[in-house]
A and B are shown apart, each in its own frame.
Chain A
């Protein structure tokens, strides 16, 4: 019995030893016999160049139906590196590499790299596509390494480039967001740690805390923007056409939901292709809507009108005597055509864009009230999620010279950023309340949880009655004056105002024949879905904004009505017109 038991133990021991021997033999084959093959396979699968595989969160556009389209993502390919010590035929190696990789360094630089015999690793080509990289690797050229690489890719190329931003090394050794949303949300988009390459057992034995709760998962993720790609494309195309036609210095536009502050489209020209920064001027990388200030001109008259109505110093029926020109503090303030209109009602200030009328309203308001309204409208940052938001130039309103207030009433002598202007004008389209313009609606964390961002900081400025009356004047302007009344859409009320401001000459005065054109509008007039602000700086061979931006604005209005199927808000019983 005892013998039997002993034999069984020996048998089990023998079995265990056999299994151990089998495993050791298998290990020998894997590690020694096939080791090189596995190393190469592993290399091609996940080994990277000197800096490791790049990882970063994505940025998404949001289509009108909620579908997300990447604005910034990652693509995988290869980089090519050489070992100068083992390269045998530099000429043929260069020919083979440059045939598959358009980003290969020049032949002179390549040969210079090959000559550096004290080095073992020199990168010579980046962003090599998958198939091309595999084909090059299969050639097994001595001294040539084909390694995995991942890089930032912008599927839209130039689409919303300045708003999305770029990543680069900056002054450090890590790739990080430098401009736009890439910069503002760098903490969310950056990846620390190994990401998907976690080894469960290694983590279990070394860092069990992270296995249970990883603090990075509550911070790192992707960002979802409010930009609609098809609207953005349309806006960009329209602006490019205006810019080319009038050879402007710069042209831009913003389309925003005035009730929520969501920016549906934000484009400017010149722009850049974020996938190819090799010959981009650094000045183009910044977002002009946020960083640059302009004197917007007569679009500000709508805000002056709303201020006067809100303060109760005028009503829509108030009249004044328009003499064509007035003299204030020894300066002449004149209408655009220098003509007098006689006694006219308030709405003509908007419909005919009369500087004298706007000045009259600012006089009625008084300096203190005018300053209060305009400081409320433009004095504070919008808080938009873009870096380096510029400040408004309102210093003229801190003086007591009346001419400064008169000129400010029609948008000259004060300068603001386009995003501040669209926020202020948005109050006319939102019951008198300014909202917070923003580009990102939510952060989608790595855990899958979607965190909505709260953008509910509002600033009430005007009464609902004041903005309603102002919108009525702007609507009548479109129906009767714009394009001689041909712009009217019988089934849709559209409110708009043009602006033509003289450009400053840098010496305290203005050019006589160089202008900044602006155009703003919202529709439907009394429950607006969208507000549009357009501008073009220094267009050549043309004087008035109605000549440059009229067609663009109307084209965008019709596009938005069709694209979003906005139902009519008037004239549903209309017969032939």
Chain B
């Protein structure tokens, strides 16, 4: 069995060790905080870039809708039907 004896280090040594430990922890914390901040900023920026890309797609969609709405069918060679008849539809069976 080990004979456990009380530590007999000088208080100065203990204090210095503790300070060194705190310094390392502090520097480590700084590194973690800065890394986290950098990754947060990078993520935020990528969200903004995605939003901008979506806005660009939406602008294209709306301009396509406007283009289709403003189509001149006559210029494309289409004509409205000269006569219009309404007829009753043929009943379709449920089984197809």
Let me know if B52 and A76 touch, CB within 8 A: yes
B24 touches A196 (CB 8 A): no
What are the residues of chain B within 8 A of A201 when measuring CB–CB? 29, 32-33, 36
Query: A199 in the interface, Cβ–Cβ < 8 Å?
Result: yes
Is B78's CB within 8 Å of the partner chain A?
no
Shortest C-beta distance, B51 to chain A (Å), equals 6
Residues of A within 8 A of B43 (CB): 196
Q: Which A residues are CB-close (under 8 A) to B3?
A: 1
**Which of A9, A198, A202 lies in contact with B33, CB distance below 8 A?**
A202
Q: Does A176 contact B (CB under 8 A)?
A: no
B87 within 8 A of A: yes
* Cβ-defined contact, A196 with B40, below 8 A: yes
Chain B 45-74 near chain A by CB (<8 Å), digits 1 or 0:
101110110111011011101100110000
Residues of B within 8 A of A396 (CB): none
Q: Does A99 contact B (CB under 8 A)?
A: no
> Chain B contact residues: over half helix, strand or loop, or mixed?
helix
Is there an interface contact between A155 and B58, defined as CB atoms closer than 8 Å?
yes
A-B interface contact total, Cβ < 8 Å: 119
Q: Which of A1, A20, A156, A199 contacts B24 (CB 8 A)?
A: A20
The answer to whether A20 and B48 have CB atoms under 8 Å apart is: no
The residues in A between 219 and 248 inclusive whose CB is less than 8 angstroms from any CB of B are 229-230, 233-234, 237
Residues of chain A contacted by B20 (CB below 8 angstroms): 13, 16-17, 20
Q: Are A155 and B85 in contact (CB under 8 A)?
A: no
Residues A499-555 near B (CB distance < 8 A): none
Q: With an 8 A cutoff between CB atoms, is A318 at the interface? A: no
> Is B62's CB under 8 angstroms from A156's CB?
yes
Does residue A51 face the partner (Cβ distance < 8 Å to B)? no
Total chain A interface residues with beta-carbon distance under 8 A? 51
CA of A577 to CA of B85, assembled, Å: 6
CB contacts (< 8 Å) of B70 on chain A: these are: 237
**A331 near B: Cβ within 8 Å?**
no
Beta-carbon nearest neighbor of A197 in chain B: B44
Least distance between B89 CB and chain A CB atoms (Å): 8
Decide: B69 and A234 in contact? CB cutoff 8 A: yes
Min CB gap B8→A, angstroms: 8
Find residues 26-44 in chain B having any chain A CB closer than 8 Å to their own CB: 27-29, 31-33, 36-37, 40-44
Q: Which residues of A contact B27 (CB under 8 A)?
A: 20, 23-24, 27
A576 touching B24, Cβ below 8 Å = no
CB of A23 within 8 A of CB of B31, answer: yes
CB-CB under 8 A from A490, the residues of chain B are 86
A74 touches B48 (CB 8 A): yes
Q: Which of A74-90 contact B (CB under 8 A)?
A: 74-77
Instruction: Look across to chain B and name the residue whose beta carbon is closest to the beta carbon of A53.
Output: B48
B residues in contact with A574, CB < 8 Å: 86-88
A9 to B49: give the CA distance in the assembly, Å: 52
* B42 and A233 within 8 A (CB): no
Query: Which residues A47-81 have CB closer than 8 A to chain B?
Result: 69-70, 73-77
Is A573 an interface residue when CB atoms closer than 8 A count as contact? yes
Name the one of B17, B62, B66 contacting A69, with C-beta atoms under 8 angstroms: B62
CB distance from A118 to the nearest CB of B (A): 34
Which of B29, B36, B42, B52 has the most CB atoms of chain A within a 10 A radius of its CB? B52
A201 CA to B30 CA, complexed, in Å: 10
Apart from A17-B20, A42-B41, A73-B55: 17 A-B pairs, beta carbons within 8 A: A1-B3, A16-B24, A20-B27, A23-B28, A70-B55, A70-B58, A73-B54, A73-B58, A153-B55, A155-B55, A196-B40, A200-B36, A201-B29, A229-B62, A491-B86, A575-B87, A577-B85
Some 21 contacts from A to B, beta carbons below 8 A apart, are A1-B3, A6-B9, A16-B21, A24-B27, A27-B27, A42-B41, A46-B41, A69-B58, A75-B52, A75-B56, A76-B48, A76-B52, A155-B59, A155-B62, A196-B40, A196-B43, A199-B36, A199-B40, A229-B62, A233-B65, A574-B88
Q: Which residues of A contact B (CB under 8 A)?
A: 1-2, 6, 9, 13, 16-17, 19-20, 23-24, 27, 42, 45-46, 69-70, 73-77, 130, 150, 153, 155-157, 159, 195-202, 229-230, 233-234, 237, 490-491, 571-577
